Structure 1
């Protein structure tokens, strides 16, 4: 006598449980009648009697064989490698649904988001944790609405969200220089494009530090750190809030690529969702004067730091005397994209011509490693650091510590607009006005970069044109 396979009955029970749950909610379940290789059906969101066209895929697993390490609150599911690769390739969001035959509940995980958050970590967990709070109920429908920008919070939920952002804090600095920055500060500082988008780059943190310090009096030591250990936990929890509350359309996979593969701070400009834009309006109505949009974008690389390395240093009658230079590093910076441009000149012996030994675009952590690898053994007194912008940025904070600087920085030097804001505004204005007709911009001539005259009076490049050399010497004689 023919027998029905027991796993077929169990599998059918899982599909029926999912279909019944969708019928109770404003969700439309559709079986895939063709052979499935990883998706058993689709779920379409409806609002009342109106389908929205927003569809997710569903992979249903049913039976105790899929439920491991079960507790009262959770259990683990172990996907195969082929499952992960197939789910990663899908063009629609996929939800993994596990039917528990013991209590007839169906538990869910947004497996597409799980794969994005996993990134490319080779040591990523081999299992997916299911929370037993995530069942096919009204909260699941609400989550789907948020997944597709169909949900907008109430004022009560916005108040809770504001409190959550204010409660996530990063404390940095020592003594009088200590500062506290919240995730809400980071969100507001990143508003861009008439508050329709949010941007992120590590210089947002430096800008917030600078704006806090310029309100203080006296001098403060620059002791702030931009290490992965200090900032990654704060940043990743901030990104999690943006995605969990569906405030912005983040590319989580790209963010994880930056964090875990490139080992760099991510940079992005993401559109706010309807919920995100409404949250901005809520903050404005809450009389938060800081809610603003004065961010500009620039692709320009701005002169940032010139580092000069000398063969010797002595102090004669309290006046610094430097020997012949050996190295000059000109470092430009694009704070919006978080990358630097490094040009390095080297001279083996005095009197030789300086040779450019390298020019490259480089990220923050790699630049710090470059400086340590080349100059860790050079006495710090043999360096001169020329800061060419408002002196607070990720690199300058690192240089102050690497140089073991014990001097405080007057807070009035942190006032005013930074070069990135000025250049960003000029670029933005040009892009807006230029198409309307002819536009002429007159700006004071920018300084040469790198500076051709070094601190000891030597010329970086001996092949300077006579006219340029004469003009430089003329200026030096009038100082």
Structure 2
């Protein structure tokens, strides 16, 4: 009986994971094809953050980000008022409201091609016994008419944008730091289209094995690759390791990428807080020493 129950749980979890992946892929297609923005699924969900979107301006990266929580399946379309209601754990709502970039919830039913959105704001949330309920109107379809509602709240100042990118790439920054070596970033430049695509990242610099991370990017910038690296990976500094042409149309750019001092300081601070707040006695001793 116990084994049968365990197998049922595994099948249920696998089905839910597959359903979630289908939903994330469908939402990503809308942002990539209809909005023409960058869509980056999060392999490790950060308290419900399933994907991060970067707003592009005529295919040029702006560095401005929004975060998405995606719920997939008919069961999430629970009728409430003139739309639907989504119940969310209190800890998630509190985290999202304080998040460094705006967070949106999207309910997705790919079979019916129905996708609706709502921005997470405290004023839109109603407390329930188990958490919070947020209303998602039928009048909020996820299509290009919604672009202004996603663009306006996204941070515009350079400090907020850089902070958001540091948080987004925390895991990548951490892994590069742990190797103690420069990572290798490989870009394809499509000369005739002024486009930079298909980024492959080798975290420990070893290109004899498969890339650790592949990002399906399609970017343009008047300043070329240096401008793209500055906007998409502001925590990095790079130099050319190699440049080769594989055809008349495509040139491959191989970069040696290291962490800026700011990225190292960011990691140290994050690890410090993750280890627990300093004790009151330690803070007191520091205060005595500075007086």
Pick the TM interval, shorter chain. 0.3 to 0.5
TM-score (norm 2): 0.44
Relative contact order (alpha carbons < 8 A, sep ≥ 6): 1 or 2 greater?
2
Larger Rg over CA atoms: 1
TM-score (norm 1): 0.27
